[in-house]
Amino acid sequence: MEIPIFKIRSSCAGKIMTDPKGKSKMQLYLEGLDKLESLKKRLSEFKNPSCKTAVSIEIEQIPETKKLIAELKLQKDEVLFSETCMTYLIEWILEKKYNRIKTFTSNQTDKGNITEQSGFQLIQEMVFEGAFLAKNQKFYYDDFKTGVPDVIHNKTVIDNKSSYTLFTFPIGETEIESKNYEFQLDVYMDLVGVEDSLLCFTLNDTPYSIIEDEIRSLAYRKYRDTMEVPDQEAYEIVKNHCFTLEGLRERKALYGNADTSDFVEIPKHKRIIAFPKKKNQDNIDRLHKRVLECRDWINANWHKF
C-alpha cells in the first residue's frame, strides 16, 4: 500500500503543535556550548591552576562536556514531538492503513452538533443585527491542511462553539484561551484566503434527550431507577441546562411538579461571547513546517504499525 500524504485537519492542528515535555536536543546542545565556555572562562581565572577545583575542571568537566556536545551535535536537528502529537500520528496511520475511523461522542459534542443552528441564530441577532448567516458547505484544502469553516460572511470566518453549561461558558475571559481554537481559526483563514475571524461561544438550551441522559446517570449513581429521582433533584439538573423560560417549560416532563420559582432566565446578549482574531501567518508557517516533519515521521514509521 502506498503511504498517503499527510494533511492536518483544521480541528486537529493544535494537536500536532503542542509543545513536548522537557528540553529539545537543540536546547541541550546550546546549553552544552554555554557550559563549555563558562568552564573555560572559570579555568582561566584561577590564580593557582594546579588546585583541586581547577584540575577537576580541566581533566574531568571540560572533557565530559565536550563529549556530551559531540553526541548532541549529531542529534540536535532531530524533531521532538509531544505525546499528544505522537498519539495523533499513530491514530492517523491506523485509520489510513487499516481503513478504520476512530469515533468519539459525548453529551458535550452531541449538544454542539444539535444546537448548531440555535447558535447561528443567536450570532445573527446579537452580532450581525439580523443579517443571515449561511452555513458553509464547501470543503477547503491545500497541500498541507483541510477544513470546513462554519460560516464565511463579509470576508470573515465565523466559528461557533456551543458551551455545555454556564460553567463552561467563558464569562470574563478577554482572549482565546485554547491554542487549539487559535490554530483552527488560522487554518480556516489561510484556506479561505481572509485575514479576519470571529470565534463565538453561545449558550443554548441543552436538548431534551441529553438532559434526560444526565438524569439517568444520576439515577444509576444514586437510585435504582430514573422514576425514583425526586422531581426537585431532576429540576436542578434541568436548570443547569436551560437558559430560557421557554426551554425550561418545554422540558417540564423531566422535572414534574418541582418548584421552579428560583429559575433565572439569562438574556440573549449575555448568552454569547465573541472573540475577534486576525490571521497569524507565523502560526501557519510553523504549522506547514510541522506537517512536513510529521510526514517524515510517518514515512519512517509506517511499517511498524
Range name among 71-80, 104-113, 220-229 with the lowest pLDDT average: 71-80
SS3 content of the chain, % helix, strand, coil (to 5): 55, 10, 35
DSSP codes joined into one string, 79-122: ----HHHHHHHHHHHHHHHHT-------HHHHHHHHTHHHHHHH
Q: 283 and 195, same structural domain?
A: yes
Is 112 contained in some domain? Answer: yes
Angle between helices 107-114 and 116-126 (to 10 degrees): 60
Last residue of a domain, one of 53, 75, 97: 75
Q: 227 and 195, same structural domain?
A: no
Average pLDDT of the residues of the chain? 92
Report pLDDT digits (tens) over 219-254: 998 887 888 999 999 999 999 999 999 999 999 999
Is 96 contained in some domain? Answer: no
Q: 146 and 285, same structural domain?
A: yes
Q: 132 and 51, same structural domain?
A: no
The alpha carbon torsion through 286, 292, 293, 296 (nearest 10 deg) reads 180
112 falls in which pLDDT band (50, 70, 90)? Answer: very high
178 falls in which pLDDT band (50, 70, 90)? Answer: confident
Q: 70 and 160, same structural domain?
A: no
Of 79, 73, 64, nearest to 30 by C-alpha is 73
Give the model's pLDDT for residue 77: 65
Span 158-166, average pLDDT: 96
Give the model's pLDDT for residue 70: 83
Span 122-136, average pLDDT: 91
Give the model's pLDDT for residue 30: 85
Is it the case that residue 72 has pLDDT exceeding 80?
Answer: no
Parent domain of 300 = 107-203+269-304
Q: 178 and 293, same structural domain?
A: yes
Is it the case that residue 29 has pLDDT exceeding 80?
Answer: no
Is 4 contained in some domain? Answer: no
Is 18 contained in some domain? Answer: no
What domain count does the chain have? Answer: 3
Is 171 contained in some domain? Answer: yes
Give the three cell numbers for residue 19: 509543545
Give the model's pLDDT for residue 239: 97
Give the model's pLDDT for residue 109: 94
CATH number for the domain including 115?
A: 3.90.320.10
Q: 273 and 250, same structural domain?
A: no
Q: 247 and 218, same structural domain?
A: yes
Is 120 contained in some domain? Answer: yes
Q: 283 and 138, same structural domain?
A: yes
Q: 68 and 123, same structural domain?
A: no
Span 181-193, average pLDDT: 97
Q: 293 and 245, same structural domain?
A: no
